[in-house]
Chains A and B, each alone.
Chain A
Amino acid sequence: MKKMIAADELAKLWIRLAEKSTLFLPVQDGPTVLYQPWKDGAQVELEAFNSAISPKDIFLPREETYLHYHCSGQSLELAAVEDDRAVTAFGIHPCDLKAIEMLDRVFMEQEPADSLYQKRREKTTVVALSCTKPDPFCFCGIFDVDPLDAPGADVMAHLVDGYMHLEARTEKGKALLEEAGDLLENSTIDKIEREIKTTDFGLDIKGLPEDLKSRFDDPAWDELYKSCLSCGVCTYVCPTCYCFDVEDYGHDAEGERFRCWDSCMFGHFTQMAGGHNPRPSRKERVRQRFMHKLQYYPEVYNEIACVGCGRCLRSCPVNLDIVQAIKALGGEKVEHR
């Protein structure tokens, strides 16, 4: 099913979608673009380069309460908090959707499945949008991301000549287009032709995961971490980072338990109660993050846990991004070395 709608009519589509679901889309928020629930008057930025923070928080929110407790004397009551709302994730770029599929393996394929994540994923219809204006930091090409196509989308959308073309790829996607049928007309294009130029930063990642298996004690790690400030911003903006914390909030009689994003860049992340810390310094923590992306994750899933979205390049205050790490570890084309 292929439909289209004039770009200046899109607000009507969003009003329709927001009636029956929480509609997340890229919204200009001060100086940055973030995926946020749509509300009337929101400044939607479909053609902007990647959002400051990845849309992973649609599925793995920055914080989510999952139980309430009541205590009285020695007795304790626990009540599960369920989130059953339907969601539409609109305007997700192919790189970000590929990253979400990487999280799917961790949260849904690895037993036991994470019900909080899985329910949200199942209740969400993803409208992916092909890229029009990649950022100078985008380097998705080396990770086999096609900026014009997101294979896992429910609806694949393209902005062409003042129209948004929408192709339903799944039953969920078909239902979405049918829901808004009266707003849409049949699409007039068959295939999207557009040249998207992204850089490769001179990287050559072929064989890097296998190569790193024996390089846990490589001297490169003794230098690479030195500029790290342990601020953790790389992990917060990264679409494939998923470490989380579980904490309680409340008083003796009642309160809640929530989980929230955490960062392996923080010293307390692995700090044990007795005082022992297996990753005591920035060296171990920087190594952990990059080894997880480049070696540990690929060892299990045969794919580097990076989609070249460029967010860490834009956000790291000391330029200790994944491109620098790959270069320091020798993942550079010969002519660039």
Chain B
Amino acid sequence: MSIANPLMPQMATILDITAETPDVKTLRVSGKDGLPFEFMPGQCAMLSVLPVGEAIFSITSSPTCRDCLEFSIKNVGKVSSYLHSLAPGQQIGIRGPYGNGFPVDQIKGKDLLFIGGGIGLAPLRSLIGYCFANRDDYGQIDIVYGARSPADMIRKSEVKETWAEQPNTNVHLTVDAEFPDWKGHIGFVPNYVTELAFTPANKVAITCGPPIMIKFVLQALDKLGFAPEQVITTLEMRMKCGVGKCGRCNLGSVYVCKDGPVFSLAELNELPGEY
């Protein structure tokens, strides 16, 4: 009859911390023996630093990476700023995985168009890594990634070198404005998506970024002829329990932590727009 308390974290250790941008660090975290739990791309975990609190973050590593979980975390709040201040070797609490994850089976055989903005690349990166590890299951991969400035791009060398060299893969980078050392595309992500004129046939678009970017990306995809069923995004809301009970991420009859955070645009259209 003994059931486990779903709010009870397990122990984890920070293996290392890399500064990605002026306000984003990537933490590599392991449980007692490697991965603290099995998960799928798009799922999240609660990280605990006591007595500061607990916050939910998307897992940015692919489940095919077997030795640790990676989290790319922007310094915006109480828990995230404390995580930024820690050093490798620190023990923290972790629980998860939470959420539904990306529909990796449903999108098999499709061409994939990833559209990320700023820190919004973090949850996409888990799926991108998964697709590269299972490359034959997926068609052409296009990755559009933008940030305010070149300095605000996360996982820069991986995006530019590793991803761009994958078979049947194109990486399209853009920044919001001109910068002295930037020779690539200049302009907002949604406009770049329009300029690149992606065709919707046999394609699924997966997007994550700041709410304002997502809003205009959805409009751009609609104009390009993408049906709501072909567009997938992942939501971010305040969460405390992660298991569909505490009430914060309630959206109509669903809880984003449990029934999301990944939704197709068709599914989102059926829910209150309160996110």
| A interface residues with partner B (beta carbon < 8 Å) | 66-67, 69, 71, 74-76, 78, 80, 106-107, 110, 112-116, 118-119, 122, 216, 242-252, 255, 257, 259, 262, 264, 269-274, 276, 278-279, 284, 288, 291-292, 295-297, 299-300
Contact = CB atoms under 8 A, between A and B. Distances in A.
Interface stretch (B129-137, B238-246, B260-268): B238-246
Interface stretch (B5-13, B28-36, B179-187): B5-13
A246 B76 contact: no
A67 B250 contact: no
Interface stretch (B87-95, B109-117, B166-174, B221-229): B87-95
A272 B274 CA distance: 13
B245 A242 contact: yes
A66 B50 CA distance: 13
Interface stretch (B51-59, B155-163, B201-209): B51-59
Contact of B246 (A80, A119, A252, A262): A262
A264 B188 CA distance: 36
A119 B5 CA distance: 10
A93 B10 CA distance: 40
Contacts of B9: 67, 78
B253 A246 contact: no
A279 B274 contact: yes
A245 B93 CA distance: 18
B70 interface: no
Given A76-B50, A296-B252, A270 B237 contact: yes
Contacts of A248: 50-54
A255 B274 CA distance: 36
A107 to B, nearest CB: 6
Contact of B245 (A80, A110, A291): A110
A257 B275 contact: no
B247 A264 contact: yes
A250 B240 CA distance: 19
B237 A278 contact: yes
B contact face: mostly helix, strand, loop, or mixed? loop
A140 to B, nearest CB: 24
Contacts of A67: 8-9
A272 B237 contact: yes
A113 B247 contact: no
B196 interface: no
A181 B14 CA distance: 59
Contacts of B8: 66-67, 78, 80
B72 interface: no
Contact of A112 (B243, B272, B275): B243
23 contacts: A66-B7, A67-B9, A69-B51, A74-B89, A110-B244, A113-B6, A114-B6, A114-B243, A119-B3, A242-B245, A243-B247, A244-B246, A244-B247, A247-B53, A249-B51, A257-B54, A270-B237, A273-B77, A273-B238, A284-B274, A295-B252, A296-B250, A299-B253
Contacts of B234: none
A273 B76 contact: yes
Contacts of B77: 272-274
Nearest to B87: A74
A contact face: mostly helix, strand, loop, or mixed? mixed
B215 interface: no
B142 interface: no
Contact of B78 (A119, A262, A273): A273
Given A74-B89, A115-B3, A251-B51, A278 B80 contact: no
Contacts of A116: 5, 7
Given A242-B245, A247-B53, A284-B274, A74 B250 contact: no
A272 B5 contact: no
Q: How large is the interface on B (under 10, 10 to 19, 20 to 34, 35 or more residues)?
A: 35 or more
Given A264-B247, A274-B77, 19 more contacts: A66-B5, A67-B9, A76-B93, A78-B8, A110-B245, A114-B7, A115-B6, A244-B241, A244-B245, A251-B51, A257-B51, A264-B250, A270-B248, A270-B249, A278-B237, A292-B250, A296-B253, A297-B253, A300-B253
Contact of A78 (B74, B93, B274, B275): B93
B80 A273 contact: yes
B8 to A, nearest CB: 6
Interface in B54-99: 54-55, 74, 76-80, 87, 89-93
Query: Which of A115, A242, A264 has the most chain B CB within a 10 Å cutoff?
Result: A115
A278 B245 CA distance: 18
A299 to B, nearest CB: 4
**Which 6 A-B pairs give the minimum distances between C-beta atoms?**
A273-B77, A243-B247, A248-B51, A76-B91, A299-B253, A69-B50
Contacts of A296: 250, 252-253
Nearest to B10: A78
B90 to A, nearest CB: 5
Contacts of B48: 257
Nearest to A300: B253
A73 to B, nearest CB: 9
A76 B5 contact: no
A80 B3 CA distance: 13
A263 to B, nearest CB: 9
Contacts of B78: 273
Query: Which of A76, A122, A242, A250 has the most chain B CB within a 10 Å cutoff?
Result: A76
A122 B211 CA distance: 44
Contacts of A66: 5, 7-8
Contacts of B90: 74
Given A74-B87, A251-B51, A243 B274 contact: no
A122 B1 contact: yes
